[in-house]
């Protein structure tokens, strides 16, 4: 799993992960630019989602992922 951006996805991943396997490593995908065309959660939701993930038995939160902002070009 590369990244997650919702509690619903993380709950399903944890529930469907076989107990015999080690916890699945996940990253939280951030949308730091607030662009509607990009996936990810707003920075303001990071703490809440990270706390929820850490309570799920079959997931291991490894960090965050974000796509860098593209600088505006002056034309």
pLDDT tens for 8-39 read: 999 999 999 999 999 999 999 999 887 777 88
52 belongs to a structural domain: yes
Distance CA 26, CA 3 (A): 6
Looking at the 3D structure of the chain, how many domains does it have? 1
2 belongs to a structural domain: no
74 belongs to a structural domain: no
Q: pLDDT tens digits, residue range 36-52?
A: 778 899 999 999 999 99
16 belongs to a structural domain: yes
Tokens linked to 28: 């939280």
73 belongs to a structural domain: no
Q: Tell me the CA distances in angstroms from 24 to 10, 15, 19, 53, one per residue in order.
A: 10, 11, 11, 11
What is the domain range of residue 29? 7-66
């Amino acid at each position: 799993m590369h990244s997650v951006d919702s509690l619903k996805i993380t709950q399903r991943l944890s529930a469907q992960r076989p107990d015999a396997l080690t916890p699945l490593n996940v990253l939280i995908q951030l949308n730091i630019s607030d662009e509607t065309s990009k996936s990810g959660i707003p920075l303001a939701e990071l703490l809440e989602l990270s706390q929820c993930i850490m309570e799920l038995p079959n997931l291991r939160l490894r960090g965050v992922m974000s796509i860098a902002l593209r600088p505006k070009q002056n034309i």
